[in-house]
Structure 1
Amino acid sequence: MFDIDKCTTWFITNASKKITDSFNKRLLKEGITRVQWIVLSYLEKFGSTSQHKLGEKMNIKVSTVARLIDRMEREGYIVRKKTIADRRVTFIELTKKGMELRERTLPVGENFNRDLKKDISEEEMEIFKRITSRMIGNVGY
């Protein structure tokens, strides 16, 4: 008989929810959501990025990216820019305010990551990453 408490999918889903909720709570104290923080992080890492690429990197739908970008643009964290080569493509860039928020909230992410991996060795983390990657491959993603 199927036992949900022994189901890998349930365990991963439950763990992911608890971890993301906890991270979001820490970021909300700084006035930003987890998803907004991820946008700032990707833009910091990759520079000017198209909305489409940003959605791919974050694994979210184009419509979700558009609403997220709308909100972040209203708050002054990012700007949209059209290219001369293809006016259909919109690129997203950090504003000075966005860069400042990223710098201010970077320690939140660093501290959370440190807390999350407390008492877990680098070797264990590598095993975890390999197993998780294999599971993702197993389901054809």
Structure 2
Amino acid sequence: MRNTAKVKGMAMGKKHKDGKRQKSKKKDQTEYTVVDLSPALTQAARSMRTVLSRNLLESGLYAGQDGVIVLLAESDGMTAGGLAQKLGVKAPTMTRTIGRMEAQGFLERKADAEDARLTKVYLTELGRGSVKAIEMASSACDRMATQAFSEKEIRNLVRLLKAIDGNLQSAAIPLDEPEEI
């Protein structure tokens, strides 16, 4: 069963003398239902990813490659499996991404010094140099996405998105089980 509880925009409006709330006449006070959340969040994420990818193109990076570079900048010398797990992608996808980025000159693979059976991935000078471009592209995308938001609204949005992510990460419900009412 779908959850159709109403969620209001900013202010709920003043109470009328009969005790019922009056709807606000402000333009940004649109009423949404909880079932609007998934499509809205998915579309916003797609738009954000599209703009970020466009901003990264001039540095030679493609969608998803920025995450690999940022992770390696924090902890250079990870395995392909470790990168895949941290980025939430499948191992074959990560292997293809690493191969492409190695051909572009951003990464290099080396056998692990302690266990030659392991291959680790490292940033090259070009890869390390692209971190600043990623930060600038991401910052420009953030500014564009939040141009009409106050600092407080941005902090609340980030807090709420992290809470949503945490809820989804910890309580994934199988699709074939019906919800209890």
- TM-score normalised per structure 2: 0.66
In structure 1, what is the Cα distance between the partners aligned to 2:162 and 2:134?
A: 28
Report if the CA contact (8 A) 2:80-2:121 is conserved: yes
Relative contact order higher in (CA < 8 Å, ≥ 6 apart): 1
Q: Go from structure 1 to structure 2 and tell me whether the alpha carbon gap of 1:32 and 1:137 turns closer, same or farther (over 3 Å shift).
A: closer
After alignment, is 27-36 or 58-67 more displaced? 27-36
1:120 aligns with 2:149: yes
More helix by share: 1
In structure 1, what is the Cα distance between the partners aligned to 2:66 and 2:99?
A: 15
In structure 1, what is the Cα distance between the partners aligned to 2:143 and 2:163?
A: 24
Q: Could you list the runs of 5+ residues in structure 2 that have no partner in the other structure?
A: 5-32, 173-181
**CA-CA distance at 1:105 after TM superposition:** 4.3
1:51 aligns with 2:80: yes
Bigger Rg, structure 1 or 2: 2
Query: What letter matches 2:40 in structure 1?
Result: F
1:96 aligns with 2:144: no
**SS of alignment partner, residue 27 of structure 1:** helix
Query: What letter matches 2:157 in structure 1?
Result: F
- TM-score normalised per structure 1: 0.82
Q: Percent identity?
A: 24
Runs of 4+ in 1 over 4 A off after TM superposition: none
Q: How many residues align?
A: 140
In structure 2, what is the Cα distance between the partners aligned to 1:87 and 1:77?
A: 22
After alignment, is 81-90 or 32-41 more displaced? 81-90
Aligned mate of 1:87, from 92, 116, 140: 116
**CA-CA distance at 1:39 after TM superposition:** 1.4
RMSD in angstroms over aligned alpha carbons?
2.4
